[in-house]
Amino acid sequence: MLLGHYGVALALKRSEPKLSLGTLFVAVQLADLLWGVFLLLGWEHARIVPEYTPVTPFEFLDYPISHSLVGLIIWGVVAACLYYSWPTRDTTRHWQAAAVVGVAVFSHYLLDVLVHVPDLPLAGNDSPKLGLGLWNYPLASTIAELLFLGIGIGIYVAYRSHRHPVRVFRLTLLVLILLGTYFASQYGPLPPDMTVVAVSDIIFVLAAAALAAWADRRATPAELEAQRLSPR
């Protein structure tokens, strides 16, 4: 899953406005970011099998560190602790914000279970594996992706505030890039090998997060002043 994860990030942003959307974009995709790193390190394995499912050409051979239930609970706790201990002057609702980061990390497992064929282990690679296999139904999986993203955008826009506005141009650009990447990955040519997949996965997750942080910038003092003076 791709777009659905970002839908969760957009919705969670409004549950705790002090969180940057950039932070949440990394959190919901931490599993895929780690997966790219572990592939390059040779700790996890996948291969390209054309038509493995109608939606994705990847056979995930083993990825218990980045994509198991237990793994994602642990990464969620680690991410929450990291966020909590990160130096900041704004410590209001800090526990809550850290918990939201943890939930965002863990949500990756639940959403992936929806689309993957049964290859998501509970713990180690020999443990039972989950996956409802929506990837076998391209239309249904695209609808699910767009639905999650659409609901996320809806919540993000509906719960904006003076301090945390919607920057329409930036948000539109971000959404178009996400959609473009999703459809290119579905209908574009097969990647040449897993190294290219891993490197582009890492670059994409980080670039999308940087773009999200830019799109989600809170109102500057000048903008707040302008809002105060504008007639309503």
Q: Is the dihedral of CA 110, 114, 118, 119 positive or negative?
A: negative
Tokens of 27: 């959190």
Query: Minimum distance from CB of 31 to Zn ion (Å)?
Result: 5
CA distances from 138 to 37, 127, 152 (A): 28, 28, 21
Query: Minimum distance from CB of 108 to Zn ion (Å)?
Result: 6
Q: CB-based burial of residue 95 (10 Å sphere; 0-12 exposed, 13-18 middle, 19+ buried)? A: exposed
The structure tokens 């579905």 sit at 186
Query: Minimum distance from CB of 176 to Zn ion (Å)?
Result: 22
Site string for Zn ion, 68-107 (x = CB under 5 A): ----------------------------------------
Q: Does 112 bind Zn ion (CB under 5 A)?
A: yes
Instruction: Using CB under 5 A, count the residues that bind Zn ion.
Output: 3
Q: Does 145 bind Zn ion (CB under 5 A)?
A: no
What's the rounded Cα separation, in Å, for the pair 189 and 210?
26
Q: Does 201 bind Zn ion (CB under 5 A)?
A: no
| Residue 154: Cβ within 10 Å count | 13
Residues 22-41 within binding reach of Zn ion (CB under 5 A): 31-32
Query: Minimum distance from CB of 154 to Zn ion (Å)?
Result: 24
Kindly tell me which of 60 and 156 has the beta carbon lying closer to Zn ion: 60
Q: Which stretch binds Zn ion (CB under 5 A): 77-85, 112-120, 162-170, 202-210?
A: 112-120
Kindly tell me which of 110 and 177 has the beta carbon lying closer to Zn ion: 110
CA distances from 124 to 20, 146, 203 (A): 33, 32, 27
192 and 163 Cβ atoms separated by less than 8 Å: no
DSSP state of 144: H
Query: Minimum distance from CB of 201 to Zn ion (Å)?
Result: 10
What's the rounded Cα separation, in Å, for the pair 139 and 228?
46
Kindly tell me which of 12 and 31 has the beta carbon lying closer to Zn ion: 31
Q: Where on the chain is the footprint of Zn ion (CB under 5 A)? A: 31-32, 112
